[in-house]
Structure 1
Amino acid sequence: MTAVPHSFGPAVVRPFHPADLPGMYRVCLRTGDSGRDATPLYRDPDLLGHVYAAPYPAADPALTFVATDEQGLLGYIVATADTYSFEVWQEEHWWPGLRARYPPALAVDPGDRTHDWRRVDHLHRTRPHRHDLYVRHPAHLHIDILPRGQGRGLGRRLVNALTAALRGSGVPGLHLGVGSGNPGARAFYLTVGFTELSRQEWGSQMVMALD
């Protein structure tokens, strides 16, 4: 007997609502290994979301958009219009609570191939820093979509929603980094209008002009 593939209903792209946060945490974890499921890599399933998803709608909910279908939230895009100001906000309002919850003693590799310690090390070490890149491309984003949402045009729709909001605020440009272990993401960003500014061993720095 041949299995019949499931046909997913239409997906909706809409602005963020606070009730979306639990779904965003799940998507962040299930795409957190260069687009693959990172669940086996984390003892604390919320740690990735604390670092790469939740601070953005907390700082500026108008620059977060989500994609949902009949099964729930399946993707999101988060961003800040001004990376340096966002880093200052994190230092003052976001990292202190997390640094208390995850003390520096946890930033040590336990040798069991889990990655929690890397994220804890990051949240303790990161500090606001001005880069020349921020002059022309001050905004940055993260986008994550579950496998069931891929190939449905949702990535482009999410990027379009975000860039329209950024242009409406007069933001001149946008940047992001994509790891060398995720060539599919790099190809996607090129198709939606990003160009590769530089390439290093870790991956590519990509930019998009918005003005």
Structure 2
Amino acid sequence: CWVIRAAFPFRSKAQLSHAPTLPGRLLGSFLSLSPEYTFVLEDEGGPCGYAAGALHAEGFLQQRDSSWLPAIRHKYPPDLGTGGSEAVLFFHSEPLAVPQPVLRRFPSLVQLGTAPRVLDVGASRSLALCLLSALRANGSRGVFCQVSDTDRQQLSFYSKLGFVALPVAWGSSPGSQLLGRLL
């Protein structure tokens, strides 16, 4: 049995970002800056998937880079612990700017993920459609995301949802691409 819930007021940020199956480092900015578009998939074992979005990606990314990231970097310096963990170092890498043509055509940002124990593609699809419907209902005409070229499962999943690779010159980290979908 699967349940899809809005991230707030269902759980606190701390509870969700520390859930072992949900990557808090990826959800933190969405939980802080765009909680109204953050949904969680649960099963009997607890949180096992998420769909997070930002209606106005350009403003969200500016706010993330100017206030949220500096606060997180201050809280978790790169030398935290012995050499810094992968999660801490993630916060200290510079995010790349999304090209303006992408932001004009696909003004909303989405990020989807499920734990390996989620074998039911229907549950993941329902979670994604919940987010896409919420964004469309509030005026979005298109969404984009970044996916690693090596994550065949994610690429296939996004493709089945109607996302296509965007043919834009983007100084992304090697091995990743931008995908987009009109709503």
Q: If the TM-score is normalised by the length of the shorter chain, which range does it land in?
A: 0.7 to 0.9
Q: Please give the residue correspondences for 1:75-86 in structure 2 after superposition, counting only pairs within 5 Å.
A: 75-86=49-60
- 1:119 corresponds in structure 2 to 90
C-alpha contact 1:198 1:206 (8 A) present in aligned 2:
no
- 2:158 corresponds in structure 1 to 189
C-alpha contact 1:27 1:144 (8 A) present in aligned 2:
no
TM-score after normalising by structure 1: 0.72
C-alpha contact 1:24 1:76 (8 A) present in aligned 2:
no
Report the CA distance between 1:146 and its aligned residue. 1.0
TM-score after normalising by structure 2: 0.82
Report the CA distance between 1:130 and its aligned residue. 5.7
C-alpha contact 1:88 1:128 (8 A) present in aligned 2:
no
Report the CA distance between 1:14 and its aligned residue. 2.0
Opposite residue 83 of structure 1, the aligned amino acid is: A
Q: Distance in 1 between matches of 2:97 and 2:157?
A: 29
Between the two proteins, the alignment pairs up a number of residues equal to 175
- 2:33 corresponds in structure 1 to 59
Candidates 131, 143, 148, aligned match of 1:179:
148
Q: Please give the residue correspondences for 1:1-211 in structure 2 after superposition, counting only pairs within 5 Å.
A: 10-18=1-9, 19=11, 21=13, 22-25=15-18, 26-29=20-23, 49-50=24-25, 52-103=26-77, 106=79, 110=83, 115-116=86-87, 118-122=89-93, 125-126=94-95, 131-198=100-167, 201-210=174-183
Report the CA distance between 1:97 and its aligned residue. 1.8
Opposite residue 141 of structure 2, the aligned amino acid is: P
C-alpha contact 1:78 1:143 (8 A) present in aligned 2:
yes
Tell me which stretches of 4 or more aligned residues in structure 1 moved more than 3 Å: 125-130, 198-201
Report the CA distance between 1:207 and its aligned residue. 0.5
User: Which deviates the most, 192-201 or 59-68?
Assistant: 192-201
Q: Which runs of 5+ in 2 are unaligned?
A: none
Report the CA distance between 1:135 and its aligned residue. 0.2
User: Which deviates the most, 20-29 or 53-62?
Assistant: 20-29
Opposite residue 86 of structure 2, the aligned amino acid is: H
Q: Which runs of 5+ in 1 are unaligned?
A: 1-9, 30-48
How big is each residue's C-alpha offset from its partner over 1:143-180, in whole Å with a ceiling of 9 and x where there is no partner?
12112223241221111101111111111110011101
Q: Distance in 1 between matches of 2:38 and 2:123?
A: 14
C-alpha contact 1:91 1:128 (8 A) present in aligned 2:
no
